[in-house]
Structure 1
């Protein structure tokens, strides 16, 4: 009955079931969600790439205050970005497409900051000091010193790949496990060897090719929202699944009620890929902001992400869904549950039934 529950991933991480809650960046993760999933036997995750080192330490402590079970902290590796400041003229050029939205939302135009994102090395040292069971990451292969430190501290590493070549690169870099993420997934496309537009493999094509390409355990992600998706991924050779959108729609997540309502609405049938919000390609529910900026010259990440940060916050506070980043995967129409415990219980029961042949 429970054969699907015992895999290399569940055994190595000490999980009851090989189900990982996807990490959400930009404040959409929550301590309550991560702790709830871990307490229920899966692996809760928290996306900390937007946080400073002290705040990462606080998050880890807060999760541990609610659960002693394994959990993951997730960072974005520095990739395809420059720490160099744009010139004042260039900064103004980056601002131009966004000025109408600052006006519409009643916001002052922001002055150019000294830094557009937290320092990665400081973030990484905070993660190492926190010693989560899993350090997960996107956008490449960590530096050797990170892999070595994780191994010495007993922290398992979990990297994301959108192609078999990226999975091979992660394995060659000493990473313990790989998340193979199909283009159905909500949020950012985390390609790092080729442009994301050239790496749009669907989950059913990607998973078996990655399984054949590497020896390390493979976690399937992208478009998995129920027991059928879990069973299909495991049949294709995956050792676990990572589920994002279904958990994002739960009340325990850090997203707004309006965002959750949109994920559960008919509008979630229509998602698209955009660089408008962060400067990097990501999947969300189509809205005016995405469509308006479709052909605009946008700032690169992390500048665009910083410039839209206050816009997204104000749009959320003003319940302006047409200007929010409504991250959402393609399987949202399958969702039925809005509580994490109920969702995880349902996923387990559905998968049990499939393996029992009922």
Structure 2
């Protein structure tokens, strides 16, 4: 069975789920064009997840991918949170904002309550970031007939995902934007990132070792890039950054401007959430360093930055905003997502 047959799509091109910059509208556009649209659910409340699914289903009968995090939620370390907040004190003073409490909105992992919510819909595709849920919960999802995708940043992670029940592995190269899918090797982030290969190399490694389909993700921005990854052994491709300027994306104007500024580079940073993620370098990354330590673990690090981001964005500055993007922004175009999807697959 080909990947297209398994996912019930016309061609093996997947839109990466991108929390904070998209909703069901981008997913509909990509799915209707023949690819697989994705709805990021990791930052949505239960009623919002249902609303996004319902909105999609009102407009399309095509399949969609629901994406969730499956990290282990650590207990809050108030001393560490307070220390991290103190690092922000000069910025709070400069922008005249109050430090936040320690009970803000946080990314929650996939659990039985979310599964209860999804079961009536029996979604065709669910993808996970940071590994897979517990075995019993994963089997519940698969009992719906759902195809399960998860991302790997190394060969070791890809082998683990296959062994533990993933149906498809996404090879997330080091070039990719957004959160790295690291879940096996601990939290010595600088050392781990040095060991992570680029997309083409990772695809080659995984496609030779795995018995399940491998999807390439990272550094893909054109029809030629798509073909190159398929030639390297990928069964399909996943793109996120190239969709950020599309009509259906909710990318902020500040983020759109940064994407189009060729002088601005990307880097992998932990300071926005506590886990490594690639984004466009801005003031706080430059002044505090991309991987400051000590840092509250994911997802608590984000709490201290929230009021600074709001205050700076109100002043039309992106100093404290996570401007997620991959290394290759050459494919970003202010066109419809359907048009971009077709161009990526069929060429100009």
Q: TM-score, normalised by structure 2?
A: 0.91
Q: Displacement of 1:180 after TM fit?
A: 0.5
Answer whether contact 1:266 1:333 (CA < 8 A) is retained: no
Identify the residue that residue 274 of structure 2 maps to in structure 1. Answer: 279
Q: TM-score, normalised by structure 1?
A: 0.89
Candidates 139, 149, 171, aligned match of 2:140: 149
> Is 2:275 aligned against 1:292?
no
State the secondary structure of the residue aligned to 1:333: coil
The whole-number CA distance in structure 1 between the counterparts of 2:333 and 2:104 is 44
> Is 2:81 aligned against 1:91?
yes
Candidates 262, 265, 273, aligned match of 1:266: 262
Identify the residue that residue 4 of structure 1 maps to in structure 2. Answer: none
CA RMSD of aligned residues (A): 2.0
State the secondary structure of the residue aligned to 2:238: strand
- 1:285-336: CA deviation from partner (whole Å, max 9, x where unpaired): 1111111121453222111023323433443343212221111111103434
Identify the residue that residue 322 of structure 1 maps to in structure 2. Answer: 319
**Aligned pairs for 1:210-225 within 5 A:** 210-225=206-221
> Tell me, which stretches of 5 or more residues in structure 2 are unaligned?
none
Candidates 7, 14, 28, aligned match of 1:20: 14
The alpha-carbon distance between structure 1 residues 44 and 106, as it changes in their structure 2 partners (threshold 3 A), is farther
**Aligned pairs for 1:248-267 within 5 A:** 248-267=244-263
Which range moves more in the overlay, 188-197 or 12-21?
Answer: 188-197
The alpha-carbon distance between structure 1 residues 184 and 115, as it changes in their structure 2 partners (threshold 3 A), is closer
- 1:97-142: CA deviation from partner (whole Å, max 9, x where unpaired): 1233333444322122287444632334334444322100110122
Identify the residue that residue 110 of structure 2 maps to in structure 1. Answer: 120
Answer whether contact 2:80 2:296 (CA < 8 A) is retained: no
**Aligned pairs for 1:77-226 within 5 A:** 77-79=70-72, 81-82=73-74, 84-87=75-78, 89-113=79-103, 116-118=106-108, 120-121=110-111, 122-194=113-185, 195=187, 196-226=192-222
What count of residue pairs does the alignment treat as equivalent? 340
Which range moves more in the overlay, 150-159 or 98-107?
Answer: 98-107
Answer whether contact 1:185 1:222 (CA < 8 A) is retained: yes
The whole-number CA distance in structure 2 between the counterparts of 1:40 and 1:333 is 21
The whole-number CA distance in structure 2 between the counterparts of 1:312 and 1:125 is 34
The whole-number CA distance in structure 2 between the counterparts of 1:296 and 1:272 is 17
Q: Normalized per residue, which structure has more helix?
A: 1
